[in-house]
Structure 1
Amino acid sequence: MKVFSENITVPKTAIDENGHVNNIIYLQWCIDTAEKHWFAKSPQHYQESHFWVVLEHTITYKNPAFEGEELLVETWVTVAEGVKSERHYKISRPKDGMVMVTAKTLWCFVELDTQRPARIPEEICRLFV
């Protein structure tokens, strides 16, 4: 499993009226981390000729997080076949190991010029799976 991760300090802007991180913010952090993973690992020519679109999100909220807490967002790809890829996420609090969110997203690989789904190249599969 090739895990990509980043640390986040929960900003005040992520907090909802209940005093903890808003659910949609967790999803945004997942998407942002997936994009950072793509741009960090994929060859430039694929970045310029292809992009990913979301087909489906599944997210499980386990525990709340609060302003100022340090969180770890981890992501990894489990499957890349045909035009689709399944990516998983875990958001946790490193100081005690508490998991806030687990999630997965089904992505579709798209050719920029045609705006149509494209088969995921073997080179990309090897880099991420």
Structure 2
Amino acid sequence: MKRKFSKTFVVTKAAIDDLNHVNNVVYLQWCMDIAEQHWEERAVQSVKDEYVWVALNHYISYKAASFEGDELVIETWIVSLEGVKSERKYKIYRPKDNKTIVEAKTEWCLLKSETKRPSRVPKEIQDMF
């Protein structure tokens, strides 16, 4: 269950804080964004209509700073899909020097779109990831 999804991008001025490096909150937003992009790419429309994910918790380990103009790669992959929960991991690194910037994980809960109640992760979703 470790099919990675990744994206390469360049850090913009909007991500920079008063210390002239990427703001810590921005890394969390990037993780949330790539998780959504991964879901959008892999899930068929009928599944996206029937289910939604909500974050239960996040854990982020900041390893190094990144700066405006840095090219970064963000990767995400699913570690587990059990019961109503999923654990997703992330890695953000700078390919220029292969420096890991952030390692993170999020525990997600699957909900039925209509009722907003937790739902066991069906085999159909497990097979997508």
RMSD: 0.6
Q: Does 1:37 align with 2:38?
A: yes
Residue in 1 that maps onto 2:95:
94
Q: CA deviation at 1:96?
A: 1.2
Q: CA deviation at 1:87?
A: 0.1
In the superposition, the TM-score normalised over structure 2's length comes to: 0.97
Alignment of 1:76-115 (within 5 A): 76-115=77-116
Residue type at the aligned position of 2:17: D
Residue in 2 that maps onto 1:62:
63
SS in 1 for 2:77: strand
Residue in 1 that maps onto 2:126:
125
Residue type at the aligned position of 1:54: A
Q: CA deviation at 1:38?
A: 0.2
Q: In 1, distance between residues paired with 2:63 and 2:96? A: 16
Aligned residues: 128
Structure 2 gaps, min length 5:
none
Give identity over the alignment, percent.
Answer: 51
Q: In 2, distance between residues paired with 1:5 and 1:110? A: 25
Q: In 1, distance between residues paired with 2:68 and 2:116? A: 40
Q: CA deviation at 1:123?
A: 1.5
Structure 1 gaps, min length 5:
none
Residue in 2 that maps onto 1:15:
16
SS in 1 for 2:17: coil
Q: CA deviation at 1:43?
A: 1.3
